[in-house]
Amino acid sequence: MKPFLPTTLALLLASGSAFAQEIEVSNSWVSGGEVAGKQVVIDALKARGYDWVDFSIAGYENEQAAFMARVQAGDPPGAKMYIIGPAAAELAEMDMLVPIEEPLAASGAAGAIPAMVAEKMQLSGKPYYAPISVHGESWVFYSKPVMAEIGYDEMPSDWDGFFAMLDAAKEAGYIPVAFSGQAWQTNKVFNQILLSLLGREAYSAMLSEADEEIVMSDAFLQAVDIFDRLHGYVGEGTAGMNWNDATAQVIRDEALLQFQGDWAKGEFLAADEAAGEDYGCAVNPGMGDMLVVVDSFAFPRKEGLQDAQYALAEVLLDPEVQRQFNLLKGSFPVRTDVDMSAFDICAQIGSQKMAEGAIAADMNLVLDRVVNGQIVDLINEFWAAPYDHEDFRADYLDALTY
Amino acid sequence: MKTSPRNGPPRFRHWPAALALSPVWAIALLLFVGTAGYTVYLSFTASRMMPVNEFVGFEHYIKLFGTRRWNTSLANMGILCVTYVLGCLVLGFLLAAALDRKVRFENTLRTIFLYPQAVSFVVTGLVWQWLMNPGLGIQAAVQGWGWESFTFDWTQHRGTAIYAVAIAGLWQGAGLTMILLLAGLRGIDHSLWQAARVEGIPLWRTYVSVILPELTPAIATAATLLFMGIVRTYDLIVAMTNGGPGSATELPAKFIMDNLFDRMNIGAATAGASVMLISVMAVIVPVLYIRALRKGGRKPV
Amino acid sequence: MDPILDIRNASIAYGQTVVVPELDLSVAPGEFIVLLGPSGCGKSTLLSAIAGLTDLAGGQIWIRGQNVTWAEPKDRGIGMVFQSYALYPRMTVEQNLSFGLKVGGTDKATIRRKVAETAGILQLEPLLKRRPADLSGGQRQRVAIGRALVRDVDVFLFDEPLSNLDAKLRGELRIEIKRLHEELQRTMVYVTHDQVEAMTLADRIVVMKDGHIQQVGTPAEVYGSPANLFVAGFVGSPPMNLLAGQLSGGELALGDGTRVTMTGYPLPEGAAGAAILGLRPEQLFPLEGALPEGACRLDARIDMAEELGPSTVLWCDIAGTRCCYSVPGRGAQAHGAELPLFFYPGAASLFDAQTGQRL
């Protein structure tokens, strides 16, 4: 009884796609910049004779849930937006995804993709993700007027200097750190601090190998200290506050800075603020590496759809598509051979970091979602009610090896 | 000699009806018992993103009760059972009793009190998130009126956030409780009130000794619905606090949903769901059993 | 003797709707008064006003020489028995009986004594530990009466107490209530729409219609000499035969030309014009042989017979009006048979056709 419905549906859909050369694409891109960027891809795909059928749901988690429901019903869409990493590993292991060696070779992207990304594109030894854009996650966005008023013209390069600056902002009556208590936000801030103290190699090794020694290092403890110390610098009502409400505090020059990913640029843009003029972007103090996430697509195995899937993969890997897409979305291209002259200063810094290899993958790209979730829970518990830092370090190790 | 259906044992007498209803029973069994059974089954497997059949015994359960967030969820459920269920019952009863006194504008008031029920929990959650946000909501407003020292920032602290959720839930749930209890009150013979009045029994005493005991079935129904509501509560939490601060307002349903979809951990999610199933059964089954006993034991009048 | 219950010029209204306009009624101590009337006649409303559950729009109610018009029900010295019994469902019979006293602060020993007394009178002893749900309708009714009884009240109010019971039980409880009244000699005001209850129980019947009292009198008076056409038609089953005619000089000319001389009827001076002759079914009788002294004759054609066992009701046509008469035992007549029927005008009723009032 169970296979009956999905098979019928699959047949119906397969016959449908055979006529119209359609490929249904699951994604969570619904905001202004995302939709504009998506249109670039849709147009390029159309030029190759395939129609993009949009299956978009707001919120990555919601979209993920809807996608999984369709996979479990035996009727996946033809492509699915993913953050590269282990997210689709289980599907790849079960041979439910189409590897993309051919389009990867055809696009000539192989040499232009940074090593870290190239490695994370692979699952079980084959490339499955077609990456299109990179988001720098560990930015510090700051209000230039506030910065000027408290007598700074650039971001201090070490944490002591950083806290001195926060004190100055506090004294001047500003909220030093615009902070939103959303779980993923709190998590990002901690990781950002952690990366700045561990450096990209130790940080990545700690996550991918659950390295006890690194967790037990002084640098880790120092990161916890700094994270905890931020409690004294955040505004009121941070619990449950949305990240963009916090960004708005910086935009309104009420707060000095926010730890945020580069999607915050969209908020500044919407408020008519220009990068480098009204607000600045800096990589955090410390070792200067940047956390990144990479947006990509993977392709569920589906009868008769491989041509369309290959075509979409090639489009996604195309340098010009990547340039236009990222200009609109506010991120920067995965390919390091794209002309960056039209991009803003933040994207240029990001692209530069990437070319230098000074990037580390966000823990989403490395960790299993279950472990990932354990860590997010832990960090949020700690932020809500700080306790002994060494105990926290032990708990962190437990979560990492969950 | 043929036995006519009239003379046969009573259980064979209605077989055409039973036959006609059998597909309904089959579907009900398949849907409810089948899915519940499958859920329990999965909780003993190594399923993560996709269901698999590899058995891992009680591993998920052991991990579950070693997870702080899950234990917090259960404790929060307990807190809501007391605050939210009792609160709804008390407030709902007071509202229902007030309306039952034949007040003017009863229909309007009833609509107003019931209105929150028509609002999605997501909306309720968002509105109360704003109301309870110290910078935007009640605190800001009261301070703006000149009471500078007034604080109402329950959502911001781990110890109080769950009570903030209870208040939002109360706002939404009291109306339904009121309607259920009002229906119960309306079902009470009017002459009972008169009899009590003729005997000189004070109003409050009439409520306590005569009316409340009569409302027991309505109260039990309301309490069961409210309890089930807590077991299901997901959207309110997501919209209002998203489980925070930390895991202070996590509830089992959210834990299960997060594990099922976001964390791709079917095993843990189904183990959590199974625990909830058992706890719901633990509440419902005794209630049903006692009712069945009472019915069976009652002599025909 | 002073009346124990005195209703003076009372009127009752629900909003703008007047249910009972100005009504007067006096009840003597120990009297059993039945308020009788069709539904909607205001009898229950009147009872509820006596109890203090409904406010008066005007007038006064006096009980035992006290003006209780605005007194709380509990301070009026009344006890009430409801149609639905209104027993406290979650309490045992004993608790039902004692609850009012307990709340009123009566000491425990007294409560125990009174409950035992009441239970004795109403034979409730074996039921004391049961709950209302485990009692039969008749038992519940006895408990309801008991609840009024324990409170030592001056006036008992019964609001259609038997109408939820089946016919057999109704008969039994009727006798029980009658016995109770004779034993206790308390004042009782009893509302019913059942004329058999009214006839059997009442010392005096108050017949009501549209909030107005139509007649107050003993059952015999109400039955034998109805004050108007409404009472004549409402009381008695089968109903009174009503024959229209023209009255002149003590003689009534019926529709078919039959003339009857109202010998022995206390006709008022100069009564004349359209009138209606009222005859109870048992007042008409067939007769063989000579016409008895003072009886009048009517010609009837038999239509149909209803055998009731102890008596037979014969339906017939008299002067173009459908009538009936009853004979003891089995007295069926052939369909279409024609025969003379007789009656004594002195026992008959005569009403003014215009006003409906008794002449």
pLDDT at A298: 95
Split at pLDDT 50, 70, 90, the class of A4 is very low
pLDDT of A173 over the 60 cut: yes
Instruction: Please report the residues numbered 143 through 202 in chain B whose beta carbons come closer than 8 angstroms to any beta carbon of chain C.
Output: 189, 191-192, 194-202
B11 touches chain C (CB under 8 A): no
State the nearest Cα–Cα gap between A381 and chain B, in angstroms. 4
B263 → closest Cβ in A90, A183, A373: A373
- Contact across the interface for B243 and A241, Cβ inside 8 Å: no
pLDDT average, residue stretch A379-395: 92
| B50 touches A at CB < 8 Å | yes
Average pLDDT along chain B: 84
Q: Do domains A4-134+295-357 and A139-291+363-400 have the same CATH topology?
A: yes
Check pLDDT > 90 for residue C292.
Answer: no
Residue C217 distance to chain B (closest CA, Å) = 29
Instruction: Name the class of domain A4-134+295-357.
Output: alpha beta
* Contacting residues of C for B201, CB less than 8 Å apart: 99-100, 103
For residue C255, the model assigns a pLDDT of 81
- B/C interface, count of CB pairs below 8 Å: 73
Give mean pLDDT, residues B200-223: 89
Domain ranges in chain C?
5-234, 241-352
pLDDT band at A13 (very low <50, low <70, confident <90, very high): very low
pLDDT over threshold 60, residue B145: yes
Number of CB pairs, chain A paired with chain B, less than 8 A apart? 96
Burial class, C357, CB count within 10 angstroms (exposed 0-12 / middle 13-18 / buried 19+)? exposed
Q: Give chain C positions within 8 Å (CB) of B213.
A: 89-90
**ipTM computed for the complex:** 0.82
Confidence band (pLDDT; 50, 70, 90) for A43? very high
B118-139: average pLDDT = 84
Res. B295 pLDDT band, cuts 50 70 90: low
Asked if residue A177 has pLDDT above 90, the reply is: yes
Contact A377 B68 (CB under 8 A): yes
Does residue C1 belong to the interface with chain B, where contact is any CB pair within 8 Å?
no
**Facing residue for C134 by CB, picked from B191, B192, B299:** B299
Q: Which of B185, B198, B295, B298 to mutate to test the interface with C (most CBs of C within 10 A)?
A: B198
HEC sequence for chain B: CCCCCCCCCHHHHCHHHHHHHHHHHHHHHHHHHHHHHHHHHHCCECCCCCCCCCECCCHHHHHHHCCHHHHHHHHHHHHHHHHHHHHHHHHHHHHHHHHHCCCCCHHHHHHHHHHHHHCCHHHHHHHHHHHHCCCCCHHHHHHHCCCCCCCCCHHHCCCCHHHHHHHHHHHHHHHHHHHHHHHHHHCCCHHHHHHHHHCCCCHHHHHHHHHHHHCHHHHHHHHHHHHHHHHHCCHHHHHHCCCCCCCCCCCHHHHHHHHHHHCCCHHHHHHHHHHHHHHHHHHHHHHHHHHHHHHHHCCCC
Share above pLDDT 70 across residues of chain B, in percent, rounded to a whole number: 93
Per residue in A265-289, pLDDT (tens digit) is 888 888 888 888 899 988 888 888 9
Contact B210 C88 (CB under 8 A): yes
Please check the confidence at residue C1 and state whether its pLDDT lies above 70. no
Instruction: List the single residue in B136, B246, B261 with the smallest CB-CB distance to A61.
Output: B261
pLDDT above 70 covers a percentage of chain A that reads 95
Which burial class, exposed, middle or buried, applies to B10 when counting CB atoms under 10 A from its CB (0-12, 13-18, 19+)? exposed
Task: Name all contacts of A27-30 with Cβ < 8 Å and 24+ positions apart.
Answer: A27/A54, A27/A55, A27/A56, A27/A63, A27/A80, A27/A81, A28/A56, A28/A57, A28/A58, A28/A59, A28/A60, A28/A62, A28/A63, A28/A81, A29/A56, A29/A81, A30/A56, A30/A57, A30/A58
Domain spans, chain A:
4-134+295-357, 139-291+363-400
Res. B196: pLDDT tops 80: yes
Query: How far apart (Å, rounded) are the C-alpha atoms in residues A96 and A90?
Result: 9
- What CATH number belongs to C5-234? 3.40.50.300
Q: Across chain C, what does the average pLDDT equal?
A: 88
Q: Pick from A180, A301, A380 the residue to mutate for testing the B interface (most B CBs within 10 Å).
A: A380
Percent of chain B with pLDDT over 90: 21
Cα–Cα distance, A219 to C177 (Å, whole number): 97
Query: Nearest Cβ partner of C133 from B209, B213, B298?
Result: B298
Superfamily of domain C241-352, CATH level 4: Nucleic acid-binding proteins (2.40.50.140)
- pLDDT of residue B301 exceeding 80, the answer is no
The pLDDT of residue B5 is above 60? no
- pLDDT at position A14 is 45
The domain made up of A139-291+363-400 is a member of CATH 3.90.25.10: no
Confidence class of residue B10 from pLDDT cuts 50, 70 and 90? Answer: low
Percent of chain C at pLDDT exceeding 70: 99
Residue C133's closest chain B neighbor by CA?
Answer: B301
B touches C (3+ CB pairs < 8 Å)? yes
> Once rounded to an integer, what is the mean pLDDT over residues C328-344?
82
Mutate one of B199, B201, B295 to test the C interface: name it (highest C CB count within 10 A): B199
> Nearest Cβ partner of A61 from B158, B246, B262?
B262
How high does pLDDT run on average in chain A? Answer: 88
Please say if the pLDDT value at position A374 is more than 60.
yes
Domains of chain B: 61-297 (1.10.3720.10)
Q: Which has the higher per-residue pLDDT, B293 or B220?
A: B220
C137/B contact by beta carbon, under 8 A: yes
Which chains lie within 8 Å of chain B at 3 or more CB pairs, if any?
A, C
C-alpha B275/C-alpha B253 separation (Å) is 11
Q: Which of C52, C104, C133 sits opposite B301 (nearest CB)?
A: C133
* C102 and B CB contact within 8 Å: no
Residues A179-205: what's their mean pLDDT? Answer: 91
Looking at residues B250-268, what average pLDDT do you find? 87
Asked if residue A133 has pLDDT above 60, the reply is yes
Residue in chain A lying closest to B137 (CA): A237
